[in-house]
Amino acid sequence: MPSPADVFLWGALPYAAVALLVTGLIWRWRYDRFGWTTRSSELYESRLLRFGSPIFHVGLLFVLAGHLIGLFIPQGWTDAIGFDENDYHTMALWVGITAGVLTFFGIMLLIWRRRTTGPVFLATTVNDKIMYVFLVGALGLGLSTTLINASGPGYNYRTDIAPWVRSLFVFQPEVSLMANTPVEYRIHAVSGLLLFAILPFTRLVHSFTAPVPYLFRPYIVYRARDPHVIGTTAPRRGWERSDI
């Protein structure tokens, strides 16, 4: 019988976080598309950014891919192709530590740059600072979780944490699976969920509009004025432009 705290953390919090993520994204898309930007500071300073930003972003993409593989590919599948847990653990450890250290180093370089470069620091909002706490928190906790379990056989999260994550998607959260996992995993999971929850309200939203469609569109974009609206002011009812 899981405790109420466990039920809240592993049965309710994930849904609350995702609900905030989704509604937040919809809300921001509707009301703040103008604010939906990277707010790049490359114009002010590019020497440190040139290293920090790609290291952080590419590292983060690897971290993301690692999470997806670890959480959504059941152990049974890797076992079936003869890739046993020991090999998997070794591989995940090396790739994970590399990606994690790169990401962490990248974000630290970027934060240092942000603090020490006058114009960049002046352009930093309170929102950004709060966001950095959550982002660095989730990253740091994740990296330390990996490092804590680096020695020895390591903890096999694919027997409990991964099934728990998958159970969330079928709306049958198996709370008890999480109750007995090592504490560092649980803290990291909560920090990750909190990061999801605040994502749409920070500048991190730019990740949801990664410009993948660019690869598939013609170079030159033509657009006509809306034939019914000239300018951006919608006409009053009854005053719409006619087709004639």
Partner 1 sequence: MRVMSQIAMVMNLDKCIGCHTCSVTCKQTWTSRPGVEYVWFNNVETRPGQGYPRRYEDQERWRGGWRLTRRGRLVPRSGGRLRRLASIFANPLLPNIRDYYEPWTYDYQSVAEAPLGDDFPVAAPRSLLSGKPMSTIAWSANWDDSLGGMPQHGEDDVILNRIQEKIKLEFEQTFMFYLPRICEHCLNPSCVASCPSGALYKRVEDGIVLVDQDRCRGWRMCVTGCPYKKMYFNHRTGKAEKCTFCFPRIEVGLPTVCSETCVGRLRNIGVLLYDADRVPQAAATPREQDLYPAQLGVFLDPHDPQVGVEAERAGIPHEWMEAARRSPVYDLITRYGVALPLHPEYRTLPMVWYVPPLSPVVEAITAAGHDGEDHENLFGAIEKLRIPVSYLAGLFTAGDPAPVELALRRLAAMRAHRRRLNLGDAADPAIAESVGFTVEQLDDMYRLLALSKYEDRYVIPTAGAGDVRALEESALTGCSLNYEGGPGMGGGTASGPFGEASGRPAPLSVETFHILRDRSTADTSADTSGLRGRVNLLNWDGRGLPEGMFPPGAGNGSTGSRDGETAGGAGPDAGAGEITGRPPQEGETTRRPFQKGPNP
Q: What whole-number distance in Å separates Cα of residue 20 and Cα of residue 30?
A: 15
Q: Does 232 bind partner 1 (CB under 8 A)?
A: yes
Residue number, 82 or 231, with CB nearest to partner 1? 231
Question: Where does this chain touch partner 1 (CB under 8 A) — which range of 63-71, 94-102, 159-167, 217-225?
Answer: 217-225
Contact 173, 14 (CB under 8 A): yes
Q: Does 38 bind partner 1 (CB under 8 A)?
A: yes
CB of 131 to partner 1, least distance (A): 10
Angstrom distances, CA of residue 89 to CA of 99, 131, 152, 164, 183 = 15, 31, 11, 19, 19
Residue selected from 183, 233, 238, 243 as contacting partner 1 according to rule CB under 8 A: 233
Q: Does 35 bind partner 1 (CB under 8 A)?
A: yes
- DSSP codes of every residue in 111-170: HHHHHHSHHHHHT--HHHHHHHHHHHHHHHHHHHHHHHTSSTT---TTTTHHHHHHHHHT
Residue number, 74 or 235, with CB nearest to partner 1? 235
**60-119: contacts with partner 1 (CB under 8 A):** 118-119
Output DSSP code: residue 10: I
Contact 146, 93 (CB under 8 A): yes
The residues that touch partner 1, with contacts defined as CB under 8 A, are 28, 31-46, 49-51, 53-54, 56-58, 118-119, 121-123, 125-128, 201-203, 206, 209, 211, 213-215, 217, 219-225, 229-233, 235, 239, 241
